[in-house]
Chain A
Amino acid sequence: MDQVADTIDWDVLSDDELDAMERKIAAKYMQKFPIGIIAWGFTNTLVWLALWPLVLMDILPLWIAFPIAVLNVTLAYLPSHDAQHSIIARRGQPLRWLNELLGHVSLIPFATPFRYLRHTHMEHHNHANDPDLDPDYDVHASDRLNFFRKHLTKMQPGHTGEEDRYSEALVRTGRSNLMIEAVVVRTLYMLVLYGLALTGYAIEAALLWWIPMHIAQVYIPYYLSWKPHHPGSATGRYKDTEAFRSHLGNVGSSGMQYHVIHHLYPRIPLMDTPAAYRELRPILERKGCNLRGL
């Protein structure tokens, strides 16, 4: 790939020149077509759907299907995330249908509606780390242990908190109708669990969906929200997201080591954020981003 920034002496550039260079590099990556994430989204959902007949007909042992289901449910969010940002195609473009289809289909294992997530996620981008307006603000915790403690608390039936932030964001932006979609999808999820359990497939329902959902609901907020925004005290273009080095590597952390790139340029495909980061790194350093040595 042509490196826009290979031979530049960054220290002699003015702020305006750095801005221009940043936009030029980002534009190169925003033009890429994310075929990888499209394949990921559809394949992931198809594999997860295929697990059900394979397990129920005793073709595939449950102990093999369970870890696959955990991966499927955990991997369900990110393809929809690219679609939320209209990375495959924007409104009015020929492949817009594919963008929307990917968004809806990839989220089936995660049992959450696409438009509900898209709209609340846009509010997160607009107000990242704002204690009043960021729908994801509740994820912040002083350390990893506190994150897990907060998460456990949030899962309890008597808890009220993050759901209210999402509802508040939708009401504030005049999209409260999207809450209906969320309720319908979650109701269907519960009814499927109940139906399977009451017809003799409780263990299959638990290992193919219920437990994978719980694992995904920890993993996703941890890597996609808490870690890259920690400590969550700063706002502003170059301050609300930080780079980090994950113990699980870039793949194990779902590419979130480079989440700072996503917040600066949300239309860069997930799979291109590492390359964009490497090229933009000298600029990010000079703009005051906390890159934590990555």
Chain B
Amino acid sequence: MLKNTIQTALRWLFSPLVFSIAFLAPLTTQTLIALELMVPGTPAIIAGLIAGGAFGLMAHFRGSWIWIK
């Protein structure tokens, strides 16, 4: 029971979707702001979530972050 819970949690933690939302989305947002392409605020966060989330979804369903598999 505990083993299964831990395995599920880890699978979730290491999944492309979580990585894209928890890391790539903030990275995209903060890069857009640092490059002065957007100002800090909700639109920048949404842009990061869309870019990161789309990338994560693609990786989740294709099993690959890039064209190669």
Contacts and interface: CB of A to CB of B under 8 A. Distances in A.
Contact of A203 (B10, B14, B19, B27): B27
Nearest to B56: A157
B15 A203 contact: no
A4 interface: no
Nearest to B60: A157
A156 B69 contact: yes
B23 A156 contact: no
Given A157-B59, A157-B63, A190-B14, A202 B68 contact: no
Contacts of B16: 157
Contact of A187 (B10, B29, B63, B66): B10
A153 interface: yes
A194 B68 contact: no
Contacts, number: 60
B46 interface: no
B62 A158 contact: yes
B66 A152 contact: yes
Contact of A153 (B13, B30, B34, B68): B68
Interface residues of B, number: 23
A198 B22 CA distance: 7
A156 B60 CA distance: 10
A183 B10 CA distance: 9
Contacts of B68: 149, 152-153, 156
B66 A156 contact: yes
A92 interface: no
Interface in B31-61: 31, 34, 59-60
A190 B27 CA distance: 14
Contact of A158 (B19, B27, B69): B69
Contacts of A198: 22, 26
Sorted nearest first, the 3 A-B pairs with minimum C-beta distance are: A158-B63, A202-B27, A197-B26
Interface of B: 10, 13-16, 19, 22-23, 26-27, 29-31, 34, 59-60, 62-66, 68-69
Given A186-B14, A198-B26, 13 more contacts: A156-B64, A157-B63, A158-B64, A158-B69, A187-B10, A190-B14, A191-B13, A193-B23, A200-B26, A202-B27, A202-B29, A206-B27, A210-B23
